[in-house]
Amino acid sequence: MKTKSSLGKRRERAGLAFAAPSMLILTVFVFIPLIVAFIFSFFKFDMMFNNFEFLNFYNYIKLFRDGRFWGALWNTVYYTVCTVPLNIGLALIAAVLVKRQSWFSSFCKSVFFIPAVCSLTVISIVWSFLINKDIGIFSYWLQSLGFHTVDLLNSPIWAMPTVILVGLWKNFGFYMVILLAGLNGIDESYYEAADMDGASGFQKFWRITLPMLMPTLSFTIVNCMIGSFQVFDQVYIMTKGGPLFKTQTLVQLIYNTAFESFDMGYASTIAVALFIITFTVSVLTFKHLTRDEDSLA
């Protein structure tokens, strides 16, 4: 009995030792900044971190009355609501299609995955050039076919859908690979049993694949959602939040407030708001999805 408990303790310690490095990184780069941002959100101070002025809840009141914040929140929600279903849907379809073992599937897998390993900055610049109304190759082709082209990134209506599509092109391959791993983890015997019972392809997908894939799916959905809430690079490169703030997302607003207006206090307030929103939505989604998983299984 005694040996068992000391073994348990040893394992516990070993576990802690293994977790320590990442805990240290998390503490230095996530927890401490989080706490500091929260403290900053109650102050006003200048670029040199001088002249600290305690503002109480002033920044939070300002936030609720700030049209730019609500605009950015709306844009972020718009981006997320479009991106998550499109990304996961496309990734799931692609994963199911390329699951078979053939040279063509392997080829497709690589092709879909390549954008995911490319730098988002490079991709954003390349796409901006490709779709440019005057010098872009896509516009050139469309125009030679007689189509009228639009200056997508400078159009208040089309700028956001364009940014969303570029993000989709870049990211769905990554989620496809994760879902593929999930799919490969489902035991073939379930399908064999279903075949013997005469289940249709759709029934197999709905009754076996989807429930068995739920843990992976929940992970990808939550992951994709957090990523969407924090979208920045591609917006920053492609539109700088314009035209007319139509693509200004929350992180972009935080960036502008911090590095253009040098109002670190208010920028921290927006960051805290973003954290609360992302955290709440992620927890709710994850709970909801895993509950579904329980009921389906």
Partner 1 sequence: MKRRILSAGLVLVLLLTTFLSGCSSKEEGTKEKSEDSGSEKTVITFWNGFTGSDKETLEALVDEYNQTNDKNIEVEMSIMPWDSLYQKLSTVLSVKEGPDMVAMATERIGTYAEPGAFVDVSDAYTTGIINESAVPEALKENLKYDDEYYGVPMNFATLLLYYNKTIFEEAGLDPESPPVNWEELEQDAQQIVDNTDYYGFDMAVKETTPMWCIMLWGNGGDIIENGKAVFNSEENVETITRWAENIRDKKFGPEVLTGGEIDKLFESQKLGMYFCGPWAAGGFENAGINFGVVQAPEGPAQQVTQANAVGMYMTSSSEQKEAVYDFFGWWNSEETQIKWSLGTGFPPARTDLEDDERLAENPYIEEFSKPANESQMYLQKLTNFSEIDNQVIIPAFEKILLEDADVKTTLDEANKQIEALIE
Chain residues in the site for partner 1 (CB under 8 A) = 10, 13-14, 17, 20-21, 24, 28, 46-51, 132-135, 151, 154-156, 240, 242-245, 256, 258-262
For 193, the token pair is 């049993």
Least Å from the CB of residue 49 to partner 1 = 4
> Looking at beta carbons only, is 51 or 184 nearer to partner 1?
51
> Looking at beta carbons only, is 21 or 198 nearer to partner 1?
21
**Nearest CA to 128 among 237, 247, 243, 246?**
237
* Whole-number Cα distances in Å, 215 to 46, 179, 186, 211, 223: 46, 10, 12, 8, 12
Least Å from the CB of residue 68 to partner 1 = 8
Residues 6+ apart with CB under 8 A from 120: 170, 233, 234, 237
Least Å from the CB of residue 113 to partner 1 = 29
> Looking at beta carbons only, is 41 or 257 nearer to partner 1?
257
Least Å from the CB of residue 12 to partner 1 = 12
Residues 6+ apart with CB under 8 A from 181: 216
**Nearest CA to 175 among 83, 63, 266?**
83
> Looking at beta carbons only, is 24 or 81 nearer to partner 1?
24
Least Å from the CB of residue 24 to partner 1 = 6
In degrees and rounded to multiples of 5, residue 54 shows phi and psi of -75, 125
> Looking at beta carbons only, is 5 or 102 nearer to partner 1?
5
